[in-house]
Amino acid sequence: MGSLSLQGIHKSFGAVEVLKGVDLDVRDGEFVVFVGPSGCGKSTLLRIVAGLEDPTSGSVAINQQDVTTVPPAKRGIAMVFQTYALYPHLNVRENMGLGLKQTRTSREVIDQRVSRASALLSLDELLKRHPADLSGGQRQRVAIGRAIVREPEVFLFDEPLSNLDAALRVQTRLEIARLHNELKSSIVYVTHDQVEAMTLADRIVVMNDGVVQQVGSPMELYNNPQNLFVAGFIGSPQMNFVDGSAVGKPDVKTVGIRPEHIQLHLSDRENSSCSLVSGSMVGSIRHVEHLGADTNVYLQCDSAGLVIVRIFGEQHFEAGQNCSISFDAAQAFCFDHRGVRIN
């Protein structure tokens, strides 16, 4: 296991500042996920941890040792890439053991570590195959195995599931979670997929525009977002944002309500007596998504624009139906003009 400390990390490419002062501590054995939209700086930050990029300023320490200028091979890290990066002319066993072979590790140790990693990843029957004979999920498991045999202080994952189909993403995500529980290793993981972040992480680092917006456990971020960006990024469907005056809060710039916290009621618009002050709005249904376990209803509200309502189970609504919606004010989030939460 290994700890990681980032202090004052800035990175610029020419006149473009990509990272704007990142501070972060990762504890021994912790699974930390960097998440954010494309271009937010999360992959650049991971490459700085790996030593593949140099920070413009700031420092990187692994196990309390400053490694800011240390080459990648000597940092005690192992990285799993999005593109697998397997050698096509080597079989699975050879791909997994190549890094150790290049460091002149003994054949006995290589065999022991490859066998252990292979057993963990259920690759025993594939050791003699070449990458061309493997599925995408199998190739990614080989890439993970290649990292495991190095026994690093910190594992780095750079969007490792983005090339897999939906079923394989779920399967491989479970494998990574199981490996973390068994190996007790420190993992830093980059993804743009909030489902991966929410299901894998001990803590999530939400980034936007080169700045860390908030760090916390998945449910801390979900239940207590500090600003509009985190509130909108974490959660699917996305949180609804309406002007405070539309729900009787003229002293609040923006009110956020999660789709599952809204109740929908079919109504007659002409006879509706819904009060905005009490947290209710009227509108008409524009679109319905039937997902089996959930039903997402999109409705156009007179006062608040487009609002998404998430209802448990299969529900039947039609576009054009008039309705009213209501919500518990205690479950709403209030934000000021800067987008900072004020309740």
Are residues 112 and 35 part of one domain? yes
Q: Where is the domain boundary, 209, 233, 257? A: 233
Are residues 23 and 112 part of one domain? yes
Domain span at 100 = 4-233
Strand boundaries in the chain, DSSP class E: 4-13, 16-26, 31-35, 57-62, 65-66, 77-80, 154-158, 186-191, 203-208, 211-216, 240-243, 254-257, 262-266, 280-290, 294-301, 305-312, 322-327, 333-335
SS3 79: strand
Within-domain flag for 343: no
Per the prediction, the chain carries an average pLDDT of: 91
pLDDT tens digit sequence for 317-333: 989 999 888 888 889 99
pLDDT tens digit sequence for 163-212: 888 888 888 888 889 889 988 889 999 999 999 999 999 999 999 999 99
d(CA 314, CA 329): 26
Are residues 182 and 153 part of one domain? yes
pLDDT tens digit sequence for 134-160: 988 899 889 999 999 988 999 999 998
Are residues 250 and 274 part of one domain? yes
**Does residue 62 have a pLDDT over 70?**
yes
The predicted pLDDT at position 268 comes to: 52
Are residues 107 and 78 part of one domain? yes
Q: Where is the domain boundary, 186, 218, 233? A: 233
pLDDT tens digit sequence for 249-303: 888 999 999 999 999 988 654 443 333 334 568 889 999 999 999 999 999 988 7
Are residues 261 and 209 part of one domain? no
For tokens 């504890």, name the residue: 27
Contact between 18 and 40 under an 8 Å Cβ cutoff? The reply is no
Within-domain flag for 111: yes
d(CA 163, CA 182): 25
Written as one letter, the residue type at 94 is E
DSSP assignments along 200-224, one per residue: H-SEEEEEETTEEEEEE-HHHHHHS
Are residues 191 and 246 part of one domain? no
Strand partners, 24: 6
* pLDDT band at residue 51 using 50, 70 and 90 as cut-offs: very high
